[in-house]
């Protein structure tokens, strides 16, 4: 380790952190080399050496510092789907992530999450209005009374309250002016956990 320059190690360490917090992922070895003004081989050798003394974690591809690890434990990036699950009639919609946001694990937990931007008024009596962001935990099962994202009878997907009646399932809209949707087969895609909205 005596031949490794501590100042250069610190520059690489700081650049990796700055890059991560700017872009959301660790830099490639070639990007470090170009930014610091060293060869790619030198950058790689320094990363390996820094990993050996626990200055960073480096698996040959991804770089992680203590600050980066703490950040990933506190926040994780969750995709927002603008057109995936309407609060309205069942319909098939191709989902596409429009953007990503960081959610703190201390509030939202550690489950696998995604966010839906709702439209339609079928859930307004549950406090879910058009344009609200609903945080969904990805699950294949749900309890009766949960607000779920579900596919019913392969006709499409919807955000509704789940009620079971005998062998049938009812997707109940929280809007007194709308009727229940009864289905024989149901595929749960997730359970609503939080609503994010402007007040």
Residues identified as active-site: 122, 160
State the distance between the two ends of the chain, measured CA to CA, in whole angstroms.
Answer: 56
**How far apart, in whole angstroms, are the C-alpha atoms of residue 191 and residue 139?**
7
Contact criterion met (CB below 8 Å) for 172 and 160: yes
Angle at 141 between CA 173 and CA 152, to 5 degrees: 45
Q: Which residues make Cβ contacts (< 8 Å) with residue 25, sequence separation at least 6?
A: none
**What residue spans of the chain are helical by DSSP H?**
6-23, 29-36, 40-52, 66-74, 105-108
**How far apart, in whole angstroms, are the C-alpha atoms of residue 94 and residue 85?**
9
Which tokens sit at 133? 């962001």
């Amino acid at each position: 380790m005596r031949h490794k320059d501590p100042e250069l190690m610190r520059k690489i360490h700081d650049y990796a952190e700055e890059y991560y917090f700017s872009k959301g992922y660790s830099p490639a070895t070639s990007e470090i080399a170009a930014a610091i003004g060293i060869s790619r081989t030198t950058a790689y050798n320094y990363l390996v050496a820094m990993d050996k003394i626990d200055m960073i974690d480096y698996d040959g591809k991804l770089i992680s510092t203590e600050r980066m690890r703490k950040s990933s434990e506190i926040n994780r990036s969750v995709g927002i789907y603008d057109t995936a699950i309407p609060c309205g009639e069942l319909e098939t919609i191709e989902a596409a992530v429009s953007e990503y946001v960081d959610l703190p694990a201390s509030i939202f937990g550690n489950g696998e999450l995604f966010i839906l931007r709702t439209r339609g008024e079928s859930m307004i009596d549950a406090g879910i209005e058009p344009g609200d962001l609903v945080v969904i935990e990805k699950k294949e099962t749900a309890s009766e009374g949960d607000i779920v994202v579900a596919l019913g009878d392969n006709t499409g997907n919807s955000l509704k309250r789940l009620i079971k009646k005998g062998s049938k399932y009812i997707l109940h809209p929280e809007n007194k002016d709308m009727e229940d949707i009864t289905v024989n087969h149901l595929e749960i895609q997730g359970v609503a956990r939080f609503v994010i909205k402007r007040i």
